[in-house]
Amino acid sequence: MFSHRRYLMCRPTYFAVEYAINPWMDPTAPYDTELAVRQWTALRQVYTDLGHTVDEIDPIPGLPDMVFAANGATVVDGTVLAVQFLNPERADEGPAYANWFRQTGFDVVEAKAVNEGEGDILLAGDLLLAGTGFRTSHAAHLQAQEALRRPVVSLQLVDPSFYHLDTALCVLDATTVAYLPDAFTPGSQAVLRRLFPNAILAGADDAAVLGLNAVSDGRNVVLPIQAGNFAQRLADRGFMPIGVDMSELRKAGGGPKCCTLEIRTGS
């Protein structure tokens, strides 16, 4: 069921691929910052056309990955769990996002361990699905449970191309997810089958264009336009897929979800 959402985004004014901290990034390959801005602007317009609210945080020179707002925090019922990045190239993004939330009137809990926000911590109904294996630590899962007061289900990622949970799993509504089985250990696959027996299983082709890095409001699912098979599976299950081209931002390992942090203020 559709529900109004509030999102935080960061314009990719300073987008660049100047270092490699995931397999998608190649600093020797060309990139087009203006194209990245156009693609991001189109994504933002999709959200506003759907009736959602979009806040913006000012980009900071020297932080080319700040556009990936999903990594900036996890927000549940108005409580903000701040982040601590694994890679020093992104370290200054954490305080920038935490300060934005403080200035906007939110309670912010400082991170005690490495966690990369909604990149690895996704709310699914009453559960927090929490990824680990490449970035976010197990210790951060424990802090997320205490700070956000929701039970945490830890999921182990095994494929470096899907280094964040939000590249391998998408929450579609309170009871439905889509995911790439091969991105997880056998044990985590078994947990996902138990929790979500009606999940949509994505194929390798769709995952290869970051098709699972999608944003759902419970009815509309904004996903990379190149993920055609996944879009059809969504439509077959009653969701409304909306394709957007994020190919330039994908050069840094990001898609629609990476660019979108949900602000959940609670009832």
CA-closest candidate to residue 215, choices 144, 118, 142: 118
d(CA 118, CA 103): 20
Contacts of 93 by beta carbon, 8 Å cutoff, 6+ apart: 60, 63, 65, 66, 71, 72, 83, 85
Active site residue 170: no
Active site residue 10: no
Query: Strand 152-156 relative to strand 127-132: parallel, antiparallel, unpaired?
Result: parallel
> Phi and psi (nearest 5°) for 108?
-115, 130
The type of residue at 233 is R
- Give the 3-state secondary structure of residue 94: helix
Spot the catalytic one: 52, 141, 164, 259: 164
The CA-atom distances, in angstroms, between 173 and each of 118, 124, 188, 232 are: 16, 7, 20, 17
d(CA 50, CA 10): 19
d(CA 164, CA 130): 10
Spot the catalytic one: 10, 170, 258, 259: 258
By annotation, the residues acting in catalysis are 164, 258
